[in-house]
DNA sequence: CTGAAAGCGCTTACAG
DNA sequence: CTGAAAGCGCTTACAG
């Protein structure tokens, strides 16, 4: 059990020669409204310091119904390659606002999710961030209705919930712009949307098409496949076998790009001399490939931090935030 | 604020026609000791169900000084590639024991770490798991003295703390055994220990040497470098340039192995025909490489889960647990 | 400017 | 077998 010797407000008050009431006001920063004398204030603060007073949070919570704690529930962000940095961002933002993060992972199991939400609500977290590993449309879990919540990396069009998303459409524009700037006009796209409710691929596609259109270019073709290294490899190899060629290839994530690299190498095609590659994620993997992969980075830490800040902001407007992506330049795009 | 309508124990008791005392005993499973009549018990349970009674955790904690919550503090496990699955394991184990995980990341900042520990202790977590991204020797933070704690993936030889570690020495034996079984006798090792207090490399080396010795083999040589893709690439290339050759190469992690793959490919050497490669981690990266990398897998989820279970086990003996690694077979070792 | 008092919702000796 | 009562450590109207 996590014990410290138990110094109570009573102890502080006694040592300072005041009542608990006065000590409480002072220690909670209400000296001004209460017009506490400077002398009294100094005595109380001194006593608190001397005794190393730590307010009992359970007692406080019992009265105030707040716990200085936020819940963060997700399907699977901790086990994930870089999505887990949403957790890091959330944790840091929470601390800056004097809160701590209570986390739970459902692994996609609805019953476990229900349990976790229930436990968090039981513990009176001050709100819940509901996050998904992959950007998509969801239905707000029943247990979250009536609970202060922010959706992170997902959205429920049918619910009135604050929502923090990456700006995938803008990201799509950035990716296309890299190729346009290099003077490439023959562009293929690898990977669209793996599952029906996923949103990232579709939005990126919109941005890609829009940006290319500005340069008078249309997407030459799309190879659809799951967003994994193995699928990226197989799909690219098949495409090449069927005579597929392009000046530029936009991959929907870094893993797909890794697979594409492998298939291109096998076919004797060099990146970027024979074909330029751009992808999405900006994960560590992008920097590991040779040549380094130019990738449009998802702002995971910022997403996590923003979700927590909005959750704890009483004036939050409740709409949807789209956080911009940014290009992490590698050497996979041909220099003009 | 996370509100539900507030049904209290009082409400349940009234509806069941008993006192709060009796209701409390029943709902906490003390019916037997208290020899509550079955009829009373049924009435109380029925009332609790009817009213959807949820005990107020803050009130309970104020009395019991327990919160059904465990702290998990680390330098950087969330942002990490796969180490973050320690979090997943911890979260699941905690839930199974009706606890929730309160997490905090210090990013290696001692002041932030101190703050996080303080906040956790203030919130009366029932114990703290102190985890590091990378296996190493640490000094138990001052704020954790006197607090129930378990070290995860790290150890403090000077402190009496329960400790959960991967069995890196056993892992070293497994890696070497893969090469021995393939009949390889000329073995090099890539990467030793990047920092003085890191323990993984040294222990793996001990296991590697021991296992090879059983086959009458000595390590032919060691290339020292940081455990990154870039360093792995550069070190392997330099080694090859200096005329380095081996039948088998043991890499201290999957990233190093990826770098080695790149350098070997550049030199026209094929895996596993020209050289066999084994590494450590068993991360997703291992399965992405071509050929798939045979890698000794670190049991991160189990490590996290075990740490939490020990933390919450009042009978825990307090020693060090070494959790075995296991081989994830790929195609990077030549078949005999 | 400061204090006595109520009350947040539980648990748990104690008494019968 | 069951209940009246104390008490965990705070916050906050209320009174002066």
* A186, containing H or E segment: none
CB contact under 8 A, A88 and B102: no
Q: What is the pLDDT of residue B79?
A: 65
Strand nucleotide closest to residue A56 (CA to C1'): D9
- Confidence bin at A1 (pLDDT 50/70/90): very low
Beta-carbon contacts of A31 under 8 Å, excluding residues fewer than 6 positions away, are A25, A41
Among the partner-chain residues A87, A126, A259, the one whose CB lies closest to the CB of B2 is A126
Q: What is the pLDDT of residue B77?
A: 76
CA distance B211 to chain A (A): 32
Q: Is the dihedral of CA B18, B24, B28, B34 positive or negative?
A: negative
Q: What is the pLDDT of residue A195?
A: 78
Angle of the A9-16 helix axis to the A20-27 helix axis, nearest 10: 100
Q: Is the CB of A14 under 7 A from strand D?
A: no
Q: Give first-to-last CA distance, chain B, whole Å.
A: 64
CB contact under 8 A, A100 and B105: no
CB contact under 8 A, B2 and A102: no
The two tokens of residue A67 are 């716990």
Question: Distance (Å, rounded) from C-alpha A202 to C-alpha B302?
Answer: 37
Closest residue by C-alpha to C1' distance, nucleotide C5: A21
Residue B188 and residue B229 in contact, taking contact as beta carbons nearer than 8 Å = no
Question: Which of the 237-276 residues on chain A come under 7 Å of nucleic strand D at their beta carbon?
Answer: none
Among the partner-chain residues B62, B88, B115, the one whose CB lies closest to the CB of A105 is B88
Using a CB-CB cut-off of 8 Å, the residues of chain A touching B115 are 95
Task: Name the residue of chain A whose CA is nearest to B75's CA.
Answer: A88
Give the tens place of pLDDT for each residue, A8-66: 888 888 888 888 888 898 988 887 777 788 888 888 999 899 998 999 999 999 999 89
- Confidence bin at A3 (pLDDT 50/70/90): very low
Task: Name the residue of chain B whose CA is nearest to A57's CA.
Answer: B123
Give the tens place of pLDDT for each residue, B31-85: 777 778 888 888 899 999 999 899 999 999 999 989 999 999 998 877 666 678 8
Kindly provide the residue ranges of all beta strands, DSSP E only, lying in chain A, ordered along the sequence. Answer: 69-74, 100-105, 128-137, 149-155, 162-166, 187-190, 221-223, 248-251, 276-281, 294-297, 320-323, 326-328
Q: What's the mean per-residue pLDDT of chain A?
A: 92
Task: Name the residue of chain B whose CA is nearest to A284's CA.
Answer: B81
Residue A168 and residue A207 in contact, taking contact as beta carbons nearer than 8 Å = yes
Give the tens place of pLDDT for each residue, A208-245: 999 999 999 999 999 999 999 999 999 999 999 999 99
Q: Is the CB of A19 under 7 A from strand C?
A: yes
pLDDT < 70 regions, chain B: 1-5, 79-82, 194
Residue B186 and residue B212 in contact, taking contact as beta carbons nearer than 8 Å = no
Q: Is the CB of B64 under 7 A from strand C?
A: yes
Tell me the average pLDDT across A140-162.
93
Give the tens place of pLDDT for each residue, A83-132: 788 999 999 999 999 999 999 999 889 999 999 999 999 899 999 999 99
Q: Is the pLDDT of residue A193 over 90?
A: no
A99: nearest Cα among A66, A76, A131, A147:
A66
Among the partner-chain residues B1, B118, B122, the one whose CB lies closest to the CB of A66 is B1
Residue A319 and residue A161 in contact, taking contact as beta carbons nearer than 8 Å = no
Among the partner-chain residues A123, A259, A287, the one whose CB lies closest to the CB of B100 is A123
Domains of chain A: 9-55 (1.10.260.40), 67-167+300-325 (3.40.50.2300), 168-298 (3.40.50.2300)
Give the tens place of pLDDT for each residue, A270-310: 999 999 999 999 999 999 999 999 999 999 999 999 999 99
Among the partner-chain residues B68, B88, B255, the one whose CB lies closest to the CB of A78 is B88
Using a CB-CB cut-off of 8 Å, the residues of chain A touching B95 are 104, 112, 115-116, 119
Q: How far is the CA of B19 from the C1' of D5 (A)?
A: 12
The two tokens of residue B251 are 């890499």
Question: Distance (Å, rounded) from C-alpha A268 to C-alpha A274?
Answer: 9
Q: Is the CB of A36 under 7 A from strand C?
A: yes
B225: nearest Cα among B202, B251, B246, B199:
B251
Q: What is the pLDDT of residue B195?
A: 78
Q: Is the pLDDT of residue A176 over 90?
A: yes
Q: What is the pLDDT of residue A34?
A: 72
Q: Is the CB of A37 under 7 A from strand C?
A: yes
Higher-confidence residue of B160 and A258: namely A258
Q: Is the pLDDT of residue A250 over 80?
A: yes
Q: For A143, which DSSP code? A: G
The two tokens of residue A76 are 């699977």
Using a CB-CB cut-off of 8 Å, the residues of chain A touching B81 are 81-82, 284
Give the tens place of pLDDT for each residue, B121-152: 989 999 999 999 999 999 999 999 889 999 99
Q: How far is the CA of B54 from the C1' of D13 (A)?
A: 28
SS3 B281: strand
Q: How far is the CA of A126 from the C1' of C7 (A)?
A: 22
């Amino acid at each position: 059990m996590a014990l410290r010797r138990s110094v109570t407000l009573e102890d502080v008050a006694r040592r300072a020669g005041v009542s608990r009431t006065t000590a409480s006001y002072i220690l909670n920063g209400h000296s001004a409204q209460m017009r506490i004398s400077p002398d009294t204030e100094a005595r109380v603060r001194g006593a608190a310091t001397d005794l190393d007073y730590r307010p009992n949070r359970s007692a406080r919570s019992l009265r105030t119904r707040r716990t200085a704690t936020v819940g963060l529930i997700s399907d699977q962000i901790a086990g994930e390659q870089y999505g887990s940095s949403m957790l890091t961002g959330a944790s840091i933002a929470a601390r800056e606002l004097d809160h701590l993060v209570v986390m739970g992972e459902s692994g996609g199991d609805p019953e476990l999710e229900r349990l976790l939400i229930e436990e968090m609500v039981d513990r009176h977290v001050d709100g819940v961030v509901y996050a998904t590993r992959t950007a998509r449309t969801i239905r707000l879990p029943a247990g979250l209705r009536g609970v202060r919540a922010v959706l992170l990396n997902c959205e429920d069009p049918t619910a009135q919930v604050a929502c923090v998303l990456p700006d995938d459409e803008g990201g799509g524009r950035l990716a296309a712009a890299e190729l346009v700037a290099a003077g490439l006009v023959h562009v293929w796209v690898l990977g669209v949307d793996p599952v029906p409710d996923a949103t990232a691929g579709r939005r990126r596609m919109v941005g890609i098409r829009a940006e290319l259109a500005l340069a008078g270019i249309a997407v030459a073709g799309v190879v659809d496949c799951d967003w994994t290294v193995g699928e990226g490899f197989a799909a690219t190899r098949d495409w090449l076998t069927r005579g597929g060629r392009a000046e530029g290839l936009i991959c929907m994530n870094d893993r797909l790009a890794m697979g594409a690299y492998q298939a291109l190498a096998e076919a004797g095609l060099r990146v970027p001399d024979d074909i330029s590659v751009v992808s999405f994620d900006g994960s560590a993997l992008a920097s590991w490939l040779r040549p380094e992969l130019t990738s449009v980075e998802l702002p995971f830490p910022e997403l996590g931090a923003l979700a927590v800040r909005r959750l704890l902001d009483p004036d939050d407007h409740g709409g949807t935030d789209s956080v911009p992506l940014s290009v992490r330049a590698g050497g996979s795009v041909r220099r003009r």
